[in-house]
Amino acid sequence: MDVLRTDGITMQFGGVRAVSDLKLNIQEGEIVALIGPNGAGKTTVFNMVTGVYKPTSGNIFYTKETGKEVNITGKKPSDIAKLGIARTFQNIRLFKDLTVYENVLIAKHLHLKSDFLSATLHLPWYMKEENNDKKEVEELLKSVNLWDIREEKSSSLPYGQQRRLEIVRALATSPKVLLLDEPAAGMNPNETEDLTGFIKEIHDKFKLTVFMIEHHMDLVMDISDCIYVLDFGENIAKGTPDEIQSNDRVIQAYLGVDEDA
């Protein structure tokens, strides 16, 4: 079953077509990669799926926990997050002045049922929710080895830890679908390998569907069930890692075409 699908979405910025007529079918539980040269429109796809941009045309559908499919095209980012799609950003966007713990605890806010006044007055039903959230955050942080540095300011962490924290923060919203925008950007091979393991681990543990943009081909080929290739906004190929590796158009897009040949 498709947890996330699009029926040919297009994004036009003035005269530029950043993405044209992209059809995605992402099955529940898969790890799907979106690859392509720089400027191919990958992040634009993420921005459409998460509601930052409204597609110029086309629709995006998401299947809820209940099995009901809903059209999420042009919904507010916060509403999409509430439905169960969480994301990270290409250029890490942590809450810089806040601690690791606060960063993750904030991600619990979207499921809060207590209204503003009961929260402010710390009424019992709010305290129950709050304590529950805190317990969950504690478990989560312990399971990813960030518990010991929970009081550190998030901007003071080393780069690799910041990337990891951003993923953990997204996880704390209890998503069904996790969108990772270049999670391994700027990492060395060792760190990339760690990250690969980490993504696999959370994918299995939280029964996630992972949709990621990535340039590190080792990582992509290692863990993806399905790969979409984007070039100048066009989807030029789709398939398993093996199929993609032997696809001529993909090789051309990455290496350039020799016009004389």
The residues of the shown chain that bind other proteins, judged by CB under 8 A, are 13-14, 43, 47, 50, 52, 76-79, 81-82, 86-87, 89, 93-98, 102, 105-112, 114, 116, 119-122, 126, 129-130, 133, 169-170, 173
CA distance 228 to 237: 6
CB of 189 to other proteins, least distance (A): 28
For other proteins, the closer of residues 202 and 253 by Cβ is 202
CB of 110 to other proteins, least distance (A): 3
CB of 33 to other proteins, least distance (A): 20
Helix axes 159-171, 124-143, angle to 10 degrees: 140
For other proteins, the closer of residues 79 and 148 by Cβ is 79
For other proteins, the closer of residues 133 and 234 by Cβ is 133
CB of 55 to other proteins, least distance (A): 15
Task: At 43, list the tokens.
Answer: 């992040």
Residue 58 gets the label, from left (phi > 0), alpha (psi -120 to 50) or beta, of: left
CB of 251 to other proteins, least distance (A): 30
For other proteins, the closer of residues 91 and 190 by Cβ is 91
CA distance 132 to 119: 14
CB of 71 to other proteins, least distance (A): 19
Contacts of 141 (CB under 8 A, 6+ apart): 100, 101, 104, 147, 150, 168
For other proteins, the closer of residues 99 and 247 by Cβ is 99
Nearest to 225 by CA among 245, 246, 239: 239
Reduced to 3 states (helix: H, G, I; strand: E, B; else coil), residue 46 is helix
Task: At 126, list the tokens.
Answer: 């709010």
Strands 9-13 and 69-71: what pairing? unpaired
For other proteins, the closer of residues 180 and 244 by Cβ is 180
Contacts of 190 (CB under 8 A, 6+ apart): none
Task: At 99, list the tokens.
Answer: 């601690």
